[in-house]
Amino acid sequence: MPRLTVDNLQARRRAILDGARRCFARDGYEGATVRRLEQEIGLSRGAIFHHFRDKESLFFAVAEDDAAEMSDVVAKHGLVELMRDLKNRDAGWLGVQLELSRRLRTDPDFRERWALRSKTISDAARERLRRGVERGTLRTDVPVDTIAAFLELVLDGLVLHRAMGVSDDDLDAVLDLVESTVRRAPPGPARRPVARA
């Protein structure tokens, strides 16, 4: 049997991750048996687990792959742009995000392993927000950490919303509103305080 080149190994690893993502999204972590993974990926368990130690390592790698891609989008374009991109995300990506949330909630060992990885998106978001404050485009009356927490909560809610199949008809308008809440108000006439009854 001929030896695989580095490019072939990387392509095989990518194919395994993509197939596993579909399987985990469709069947959940527990339902994604080794047999189902083999069928979805189109490789034997030996070929799959040559690249990944076990099913948990494979799931972790899928989630890590998604987190790296998300942190790249956040670093370049911000959390709101990542939210806008949700309508382009497939069911596999959404399913893995939901399964990741479930595992974080129910599996303390997994949660501990994931803690360092989850910081990548959070750190990228906070760094981008700090640069926005320095440029004068973001509000300064609220700490950056609070703005980041707000945007992360909105992102989590949107992922759940999309995964439930709720219509995206108003997504752009909602995200315009979210973005306007973190932007610095343009200079203009001072607003008069609203009288309270």
Span 108-150, pLDDT tens digits: 998 988 887 777 778 888 999 999 999 999 999 999 999 999 9
Res 3: pLDDT: 67
Q: What are the structural domain ranges in the chain?
A: 6-182
CA angle 76, 154, 177 (to 5 degrees): 80
If you average pLDDT over residues 15-24, what whole number do you get?
92
Closest by alpha carbon to 97, among 108, 86, 112? 86
12 or 7, higher pLDDT:
12
Is the CATH code 3.40.50.2000 the one for domain 6-182? no
